[in-house]
Amino acid sequence: MATDLFTHTVQHTLDVVGIFVFAISGALAAVRRNYDVFGMAVLAEVTALGGGLFRDLVIGAVPPAAFTDFGYFSTPLVATALVFFLHPEVERINVAVNVFDAAGLGLFCVTGTVKAHTYGLGLTPSVALGLATAAGGGVLRDLLANEVPSLLRWDRDLYAVPALVGATTVALLIRFDALDGVSAGLAALVAFVLRLLALRFHWRAPRAWHRRSAAAEGE
């Protein structure tokens, strides 16, 4: 069981790190959209906590950690303050958003899968919730920013696939009793690097074979 492999302290630390990097990406996205400081805080909170909140509700970990641990709630506010005063130049914001988002994706697909398995779910449902934990906050961020979520855009570089690969790697490690801090970190790194490579080389998932669509190519 995952509970035997991760102490509460390790799990909490990984969660806070993931929350922080996702919150950075949410706050930077708000800067890119020219939101005020309140909008920055809202996007930071939603991006950082949305996926984990959904996971906790599904597995019955209630009340969700986002509402019982002040560190979880306050970390996005710290990230918002840092971005408010220290955000990069406008022309570099998009790159920064992508890097921080990829880091959060890698961390949360690991912690989400581990926590779901800890609460008694099988490996396949744990992978699904690992994916939801990693991608859910980004979907909510995009919706609040009035954008079609990257997860659903055919013309966007792979987003869910790296998280799915990372979560599946964790599930396989659990299956073969090989999950520890190092291997979990490597699984997160795989998802992170895969997402960055997808951004660098514009890797995209295929659409329907011989599709017939009236949608414009830019839509």
pLDDT at 219 over 60: no
In terms of Cβ atoms closer than 10 Å to its own Cβ (0-12, 13-18, 19+), residue 47 is buried
pTM to 2 decimal places? 0.85
CA gyration radius for the chain?
17
Residue-wise pLDDT for 125-158, tens only, equals 999 999 999 999 989 999 998 888 888 888 889 9
Contact call for residues 112 and 167 (beta carbons, < 8 A): yes
DSSP codes, 152-182: G-TTS---HHHHHHHHHHHHHHHHTT--SHH
Tell how many helices (H) and how many strands (E) occur in the chain.
8, 0
Cα 60 to Cα 128: distance, rounded to the nearest angstrom: 15
> Which range is least confidently modeled, 81-85, 107-111, 191-195, 209-213?
209-213
Contact call for residues 147 and 155 (beta carbons, < 8 A): no
